Structure 1
Amino acid sequence: MDIITGITWWMIIPVILTGIVYAAILYYKNSQLQLSSFLKWTLFAFRFTLVSLIAFLLLSPHLMQTKKVVEQPVIIIAQDNSASVALSKDSLYFKNEYPAVLQQFKDEIAGEFRMDFYTFGQQVNKSGTLDFNDQRTDISELLQSISNSYYNRNVGAVVLISDGIVNTGIQPELVATEFPFPVYSVALGDTTSYPDLSIVDVRYNQMIFNQTDFPVEISFKGVNAPGTQVKIELYMEDKLIGTELKKIETRSYTGTCSFVVSASESGKKRLTAKIIPLEAESQLLNNSRVFYVDIVNEKQKVLLLSLSPHPDLGAFQSIFEDYFDVTTAYIRTFSPDDTDYSLIILHQLPGKGVDNQTIQKLLQSQSNASVLVVVGPQTDLAVFNSLQSGLQFVGTADQPMIEAYPVPVKEFALFSVESYMWDRLRGFPALTAPLVEMRTPVSFQSAVLQKVKSVETYFPLIGFSETPSRRWGYITGSGIWKWRLADYQMNGNQDSFREIIGKTVQYLLVKKDQRRLRLHVGTEFMLNEPVRFRAELYNKSMEKVNDAELKLEVKHIDSGSEYSFLFSRSDNEHELNAGRFPEGRYVYNSEVVYGSEKLQANGEFVVLESSLESRQMIANHDLLYRISKVTDGDFLYLAELNQLPETLRTNQAITSTASFTKVYDSFISLPAILMLLLLLLTLEWFIRKYNGTY
C-alpha cells in the first residue's frame, strides 16, 4: 500500500507549515481564549491535523493498493443453429426433444463453472434463440469471434456442438491453428451416405440483353447411384425450356450439362433447374435450384479510345464485352459521330505527337459521359492537366517512368469490394507510371495508392473525382493486363481483377442521383435472411432530412400478398428491418408527403428458395475431429454429452486463475478520511463548547 501524488514530496513541507501557522494563530495569538496549556496544546493538535489534512487533499493524493483478482474458468457452449441440423433424419428429435437435453447440459455446466452460451450459423449470437433456421454455417467466424471477445480471459474450454457442415467463410482448421482455447466437439447429424441426386451449382449471367441467347451451365451430383440415368430439366416461369439425360458413372459422380436460353422479353425472370429424384431418395430439397436473370432492353455504350494498340485494351474488353456495347478506336483514325456514350476510356490520351483537339471536341459533345483516363508513357501530361481539374501532375516535362505497386486504401467507400480481393491486389505486379508529383482536391477519392520501391506514397494509382456534369476516373499507370494474368496465375481465375476494374467502371456509369427519395436494399436474399431497407429523404435544397413519416408497401408478385411497414428514424436516415419473406419475387413502393409534395420510390427484389444448408446433408465429423485435435480438445458424439461435465470437472487444466492488479483510490473519496475530518471537527467543537469558548 503506497500513497501516490502527482507532485514532489517536498510539497509536504508547505502543507505542514499551513497547519502549524493556522493552528498557532487560532490558539496562541488569540488572547481571548481562557484555556489551560494542556487544552490549548490538545486543540492545537486537532486543528493542525485538520488543516494539514485538508491542504494535503488539495494535492490530489491517491492510495495505491495491490489486489488479488480470482477469475473462475469460463466454459463457452456454441450451438450450431443452421438448418442442416434439423434437415437430418432425426429432425423431429432436434426440434422437440433436443432443446431439453441441451438445457440440462447447460444447467450442469453453469452449476460448476461460469457458462456463456452462443448460437451460430449466419451470424454469431450470444444467448441466441435455438430454432435451426439459419441458412448458412460459418465456424471460422465463430472461432474468430470467441478469440477476439475472450482475449486474455480464463476460458477453460469451448464446447462446439455441430454437424460440421460448413458452407461459408474460410476453412475452420486455418483459424483453429491459432485458436487459444481447447475445443470439445460434440458431433451431431448423420454421416451415412444414402442414394441422392442434387443440383450442386448453376452458372449464368445475372444480366442478359433482350433478343439474345445466353448459356446456363448446371452442375449435378449423384451419390450411391452408379449406372442410373437421370434427367435434368430447366424451367423459365414454370415453362419447360430444356431437358437433358445424363448417366451416373460412379458411386460419387459429378457432371455438368449446358443449356442455351433465348431472352425474348425484358424483366426479371425466374428459372428453375431440376434433377428428377430417385425412387429411393429421401432428401429432395437439394434436387432443384431457383435463380433469376434480369433481361434488359439496351446495352450501355462504351468508347475505348487509345493512342495505339496495347494489351490493356484486351483486358478491358474481356470485362465489357458481355455487358456493354464497346467501340474500340485509335485517335489517329477516330472521327466523332452522333453516338451517345455512357463511358469514355482514354488510354494514354491525350497523347504525345497527336492532335488532341479531337479529344476536347469529343468531351464537349459528350458532356454527360463519364471518363476513365489511363495514364502511360505516351500521355501528354500538360494537355491532360488542361482537360480536367480532378488530378494535376506537377512538372509536366518528360518524366522517367517507374514501377508503381498497388496498395488498397482501407477507408475507400465509394463502392465495396470483398476484403480478400483487396488483399489479393497487393500481390499484383506494378503498373508503369510517371515519376512526377500529383496534386488532388480535397474531394478526390483514392481507391488504390502507389508503392514505389517498398515506400507507400500518397499518390493515387486508382482514384475518382466528380464535377457537376460528369464523373472522372483515373488509373495513373498502364499495364493492367498484367493484373489479369497475375490473378489467374495466383488464384486460378480472374475474379479479383474483374471485380475491382468492373466496380470501377460500374461506379463511373452510375449517373448522379437527383432523386429526393432514395431507397437502398439488396436485390437477392436467401430464404430466412432478413430484408433490410435504408431510405434517404432530401428537401428542395438537396439537404438530407428525416422529419417526415415514411411508409413502405411490399407485394409478392406470384401470390399477391401485401405487406405494409413504417420506417424508423435514426440520425438523418430512415431504417427498416422488414424481416423474412417467403420465396419469390417482390415489388416495393415507398411514399412520403413532404410539405405539399408526394415523393415516391420503388423497385424489386427476390428471395431465393435454394438454401446452402440443403446442398450438403452428410455430416462432416472429420472436420470437428481435426478442430479438436489441433486445439488440444476432445471429440464426442451426442450420446456422450452427459459425460462431458464430469470430463471438464476433472480436468486439472480448467481451474481458477489469480492475478494481481494495482488499484488507485483517491484519498478524497475514501470514507475513512471523511470520518476522520468529521471526528476532529466534532472533538474540537465539543471541547471548546464544554469550556465555554467558541
Structure 2
Amino acid sequence: MASTTIIYIILSGIIALLLALFQYVYKSKPTRTNAILAGLRFITIFSILLLLVNPKLDSETFYNEKPNLIIAADDSNSMAFLNQSDSVRNLIQAFKNDADLNKKFTIDYYKFSNDISLNDSLEFSTKQTNIDKAIKGLQTIYKNTVAPTILITDGNQTYGNDYEYTAKSYKQPIYPIVLGDTTKHVDLKITQLNVNKYAFYKNKFPVEVILVYNGEETITSEFKITSGNAILFSEKVSFSKTNNSKIVQATLTANQVGVFTYQAVIAPISNEKNVINNSKNFAVEVIDEQTNIAIVSAILHPDLGAIKKSIESNEQRTASILKPNAFLARIDEFQLAILYQPNASFKAVYTKLNADNNNRFVIAGTQTSWHFLNGVSGNYQHDLISQTENYLAEKNTNFSEFIIPDVDFDAFPPLEGQFGNINISVPFQTLLYKQIGSITTDKPLLITLENQNRREALLLGENIWKWRSQSYLDQNSFNSFDDFFGKMVQYLASKKRRERLSLEYQSFYDGNTNVILQAQYFNKNYEFDNRETVSIAITDVISKETKIIPLVLKNNNFEVDLSNLPASDYEFTVKANTSNISKSGNFKILDFNIEQQFTNANFSKLNKLASLHGGQTYFMNDFQDLKTNILADNRYVTIERATKKTVSLIDWKYLLILIILALSAEWFYRKYKGLI
C-alpha cells in the first residue's frame, strides 16, 4: 500500500473522529449514550471516507498443483492389424484404476491417428498415423507445465514430418510403450509407388516403384505389373543384406479412355511373414484431351510463376507465360486466357477474344491501365484513381457458380490494387469481398460473370503469390490454394451450360484417402436452395449391395462421407428428392491399407526418442516397472503455488454491510433512548 494512501486513511480517521465528537460530545454532557452514538457515527463516517480513498489490498492464496501425466494412445487400425486392440484398452484402464498414479498426477488421456483428440473411446478404425502431429499438439497444450508423456504406439508413422525431428522441441520426458512384435522378420515389400493420376490417350506414362528387402541372405524375386489377367511388365530383381533396395521403372501405354486399375506385385520369398505389403494397387485415368491455358502479361511479376505452378499442379492442365503478341500467334492452342494486368499492348488480344467470344480471367493490380481496360470491356468500368490500397479477402458463403474448396482466406495477406469503385453492368456473382483492415465491405475483390454465353472472372489485386505461399506455411502444402485456383480455371475453361444439380467427386480414390462427394442444387432461377433434401443411392458393382444415404448441408453445398465403404467399383445416383432431379456417376476405391505394410514395431526409433527426452522405453507387460519409476522420479513433484490478487476496497461488500449496520444501530439506539 502506498504511503500517500496510508496518510489519507489516517486523515479519514481523524476527520471521522472529529465529526463524531462534534455531533455527540461537543457542548454535551459526557454520558454513556453519547459515547455509544459517537462510536457508531465514527464507524459510519470513517467507512464512507475509506470508500472514497479506495485503498488497494493484496490477498494471497496458496494451492497445490500436481504434475500432469499424459497418456497418448495410437488409435489407428494398425493396432487391430497387430492384434493389440484389447491390450491397449486394458493398459488405459490400468492407468485409470491405479490409485497411486491418480493421487500423484493429474492424468489426461488422448488418442491419435491422423489427428489428436481427447480419448473418449478407442475405435482403431483410422487408416493413417501421424505421430508428428500428435507431438506438436501436446507441445502446444503443455509447453509451460511439467507433463511426462506416455506414448502407446508401434512407432510406425504413415505420413507427416519425421516425429523424431519434431520431438526435439518437445520439452517433456517421453516414455514409449512399444506395441507389436519387435523381432525383425525377413520381408520383401513395396515401400513406394509413384505414378501420375492422369495419362493422355495413346501416350505412354511412367511408373516408378521402390522395393526394399529386410534380410540377411541373397535372394532373387520377380516384380510384375498386371491389369486383370494380363502381365504388362515384369523384371527379375535381386537383393542382399547390403544391396537391399531397388528402384524399378516401367512405361505403360494408355490405349483406352477411362479409369484403369493396375497391380504392382513383388513375388513373396519363403518364410515371409507379411505378404500384404508385397502388392499395391494403383489407378490411372486416361483422358483424350488436355486443357492448355495462356498466361498473358506484358510485365514481369512473381504472380506469373505462382499461377503457372498452381495450374500445372493438375496433370490435366498446362500453362504458358506469353507476351501479348506471342499469344496472338498461338491463340488457337489455348482453351483459356489469363490476362495479367492488361495495358494498351493488349488491344489486339481483346479484339481477337471479343470477336471469338472466348472466356477469360482478368487479374488487375497496381500496373493495370484502367483507362485502357474501361475502353475495351463493356461489362464493367473502374474509377480512374491513381491511389492504391491493400485489400484482405472475405469469402462470400452464398457464391454458387461452383463449389469453393475449404480455403482460409481470412489468414491470407492482403492483395494490392487500385483504389476506387467498380461499376458492373451485367449480372455477376461475388466470390470474394474486399476487407480493409478489420472492416468488411460490400465491394467485390473477385467476381465471376456470364454474359452472351461467355464466362469471365475479374480479380482486383496483385500479389496472389503471397496467398499460395501462405497456404504452404499454414498447411505444409499448396493443395488448398491450388484446388481453389483449379476450380476457377475449370469453371472458366468450360463452356458447358449450367446444371441445376452439379456434383464434385473423383474418378478413383486411394484406399487411405477420404471419399467425399459434394453436390450443389439450384432452383429454377439458379439460386442455391438449401431447403432441398438430397440423397445418394450407391451400389457396389461386385456385391450388388445398394445403400441410400442422405447428404448433409455444409456451407453452400451438400456433402456425404463415403470413407467407410470397402474397396470396390461403385455406381451412384444423387437425387434432389423434392424436384426429382438426379445425376449419376461412378468411381473406384482401391484396395490398399498403409497401416498393414508394417510387420514390426519401430523399437529403435521409439527407444531413441525416449533417450533424447529423459524417458525410458517399456513394453506392454512392464506397467508396474513404469509406475514404480515414474512415482519415484524426483522431477515430478507437487508444487505449492501462490496467487496474489490486488482488490480495491470498494469491491469489498462487507464494508457496505458495516455502514448499513452502523447507521441502523445508531437509528434504533436513538429511537430506544427517545432521542427521535
State if a TM-score over 0.5 links the two structures. Answer: yes
Structure 1 residue 618 and structure 2 residue 600: aligned?
yes
Q: TM-score, normalised by structure 2?
A: 0.72
Which residue does 1:254 correspond to in 2?
246
**2:566 pairs with one of 582, 607, 611:** 582
**1:362 pairs with one of 325, 344, 352:** 352
Per-residue deviation, 1:660:
2.7
Q: Is the 8 A contact 2:508 2:587 kept in 1?
A: yes
- Equivalents in 2 of 1:572, 1:309: separation in Å? 37
Q: 1:573 to 1:666 in 2, by over 3 A?
A: farther
- Equivalents in 2 of 1:525, 1:290: separation in Å? 11
What is the aligned length? 620
C-alpha deviations, 1:182-235, integer Å up to 9, x for none?
Answer: 112233333433232222222222123445443333333333385544333434
Which stretch has the larger CA shift, 602-611 or 571-580? Answer: 571-580
Which residue does 1:202 correspond to in 2?
193
- Equivalents in 1 of 2:547, 2:296: separation in Å? 49
C-alpha deviations, 1:37-79, integer Å up to 9, x for none?
Answer: 6435534543564576468668987654122332111111222
- Equivalents in 2 of 1:637, 1:319: separation in Å? 48
Which residue does 1:222 correspond to in 2?
213
The aligned amino acid for 2:645 is V
- Equivalents in 2 of 1:474, 1:301: separation in Å? 24
- Equivalents in 2 of 1:10, 1:367: separation in Å? 86
- Equivalents in 1 of 2:593, 2:391: separation in Å? 34
**2:286 pairs with one of 295, 299, 314:** 295
- Equivalents in 2 of 1:382, 1:639: separation in Å? 78
Structure 1 residue 342 and structure 2 residue 335: aligned?
yes
SS of match in other structure, 2:634: coil
**2:613 pairs with one of 631, 637, 643:** 631
Structure 1 residue 676 and structure 2 residue 655: aligned?
no
**2:637 pairs with one of 655, 676, 692:** 655
The aligned amino acid for 2:636 is I
Per-residue deviation, 1:496:
8.2
SS of match in other structure, 1:622: helix
- Equivalents in 1 of 2:285, 2:126: separation in Å? 27
Which residue does 1:428 correspond to in 2?
none
The aligned amino acid for 2:192 is D
- Equivalents in 1 of 2:392, 2:217: separation in Å? 52
Q: Is the 8 A contact 2:550 2:560 kept in 1?
A: yes
- Equivalents in 2 of 1:573, 1:502: separation in Å? 16
The aligned amino acid for 1:687 is Y
Per-residue deviation, 1:645:
1.2
Q: 1:206 to 1:576 in 2, by over 3 A?
A: closer
SS of match in other structure, 1:609: coil
Q: Is the 8 A contact 2:204 2:252 kept in 1?
A: yes
Structure 1 residue 126 and structure 2 residue 118: aligned?
yes
SS of match in other structure, 2:268: coil
Which residue does 1:77 correspond to in 2?
71
- Equivalents in 2 of 1:261, 1:409: separation in Å? 47
Per-residue deviation, 1:589:
4.2
- Equivalents in 2 of 1:358, 1:39: separation in Å? 109
**Gaps (5+ residues) in structure 1?**
397-406, 424-435, 448-462, 481-494
Q: 1:243 to 1:526 in 2, by over 3 A?
A: closer
Q: Is the 8 A contact 2:296 2:324 kept in 1?
A: yes
Q: 1:295 to 1:173 in 2, by over 3 A?
A: same
- Equivalents in 1 of 2:248, 2:391: separation in Å? 38
- Equivalents in 1 of 2:420, 2:489: separation in Å? 18
- Equivalents in 2 of 1:286, 1:308: separation in Å? 52
Per-residue deviation, 1:146:
0.9
Which residue does 2:456 correspond to in 1?
470
Q: Is the 8 A contact 2:405 2:480 kept in 1?
A: no
C-alpha deviations, 1:365-423, integer Å up to 9, x for none?
Answer: 3545233679999x989746755679999779xxxxxxxxxx9999999767999xx99
Which residue does 1:66 correspond to in 2?
60
Structure 1 residue 46 and structure 2 residue 30: aligned?
no
Q: 1:276 to 1:385 in 2, by over 3 A?
A: farther
Which residue does 1:137 correspond to in 2?
129
Q: 1:144 to 1:341 in 2, by over 3 A?
A: same
- Equivalents in 1 of 2:25, 2:498: separation in Å? 86
- Equivalents in 2 of 1:577, 1:664: separation in Å? 54
- RMSD, aligned α-carbons: 5.5
C-alpha deviations, 1:76-127, integer Å up to 9, x for none?
Answer: 1222233334434xx2xx2344532442244333243221122222111222
Q: 1:321 to 1:55 in 2, by over 3 A?
A: closer
Which stretch has the larger CA shift, 270-279 or 518-527? Answer: 518-527
% identity of equivalent residues: 20
The aligned amino acid for 1:126 is L
- Equivalents in 2 of 1:146, 1:532: separation in Å? 29
Q: Is the 8 A contact 1:273 1:288 kept in 2?
A: yes
Q: Is the 8 A contact 1:393 1:437 kept in 2?
A: no
The aligned amino acid for 1:663 is K
Which residue does 2:543 correspond to in 1?
559
Per-residue deviation, 1:538:
5.5
SS of match in other structure, 1:248: strand
Q: 1:97 to 1:153 in 2, by over 3 A?
A: closer
Structure 1 residue 104 and structure 2 residue 94: aligned?
yes
Per-residue deviation, 1:164:
1.8
